[in-house]
Amino acid sequence: MRRNDLTSSKQTHIRIYVCTFSTGKEVPASPEQSHYLIHVMRVSNFDRIYIFNEHMGEYEATIRVDKSSAYLRPANCVRLPPTPASEGGPRAPSDACVEGARERWLAFCPIKPHLTHFVVEKATELGVSHILLLSSQRTQHSANVAKLRKVAIEAAEQCNRLTVPVVVHDSVRLEDFAREHPGDHGSTRLDDCALPGENGSTRLDDARALLGDNGSTRLEDARARPWGHIRWFAALERCESAPLLSFKGDDSVGVIIGPEGGFTPEERDLLARHATPVSLGENILRSETAAICALSRLL
């Protein structure tokens, strides 16, 4: 086997997420990506890898190495994006939009950092489209959204996804999350409800700030309610709810997972009244286990 053939076969599965690129135009890899390609994967000039994003799809790209920097030149499109690309790029046929056809949300309270990263990684691999961080009365940890975005990107590279889940910026208080739901979706209605804050009031802290493709944040319109159209299921332990079974409908759906120690009685009552309570079984699951279990049945 010739060296080029060997190199090509060795590099077949290298995938790099690139926020913005155009066909035939060289784009620099980030310093971290350059280190990975040059020093970990040992690529050299003219080797070929794949680059992708949710707007352009996936392209075969040729590498140029200059000292410690790598440059990528996309050439051939090998996978069209799951949703219509920006003007000037390729567009997927309507019947090919499989990955982006339905929204699948995970709303959970941050737990220990390494376990939160684990949940985001596995949620990405399972195909979730949005990740919403909640803050409940028993939430003990916060989350770095930039790091979570990085975890999601690396998971998407590994699992052959074209899209990266949207991570909602900051922790949205559970009562605000419920209060901002706009309308009646049958048993999943979440409107007109609020739990008192520490000062007796409720607040909505940057609930509309979503992390963009370039790692920066953008504020959505205060009336946007990006989760308002979702059919929500709340995984509650020690309840006599029906089990969460495989969901085969076309609706956009989401699952709510509690923090370490679970939801308080008041929060459980809120969720039981305004979401669809479901059981994940007789055993009491850790938060990270519950998230994976619920998503595996929902997706």
Q: Is residue 4 part of a domain?
A: no
Whether 160 and 43 share a structural domain = no
Residue 173: enclosing H or E segment and its boundaries? strand 172-173
What pLDDT is attached to residue 299? 77
**pLDDT tier for residue 102 given thresholds of 50, 70 and 90:** confident
Q: Is residue 2 part of a domain?
A: no
Whether 117 and 71 share a structural domain = no
pLDDT tens-digit readout, 181-200? 543 443 333 333 333 333 33
Q: How far apart are the first and last CA of the chain?
A: 42
Residue 57 in tokens: 């799809």
d(CA 225, CA 201): 20
3-state SS assignment for residue 185: coil
Whether 80 and 114 share a structural domain = no
Whether 66 and 176 share a structural domain = no
pTM, full prediction: 0.76
Cα 297 to the chain's mean position, in Å? 17
Whether 165 and 265 share a structural domain = yes
Question: From start to end of 207-246, where are the E strands?
Answer: 209-211, 217-219, 231-235
DSSP letters along 19-77, please?
SS--TT--EEPPHHHHHIIIIIS---TT-EEEEEETTTEEEEEEEEEETTEEEEEEEEE
Question: Any idea which of 98-102, 170-174, 208-212, 230-234 has the lowest mean pLDDT?
Answer: 208-212
Q: Is residue 289 part of a domain?
A: yes
Query: What residues make up the domain containing 191?
Result: 104-298
Whether 159 and 261 share a structural domain = yes
pLDDT tens-digit readout, 30-41? 999 999 999 999
- DSSP single-letter state for residue 207: T
Give me the amino acid identity at 188: T
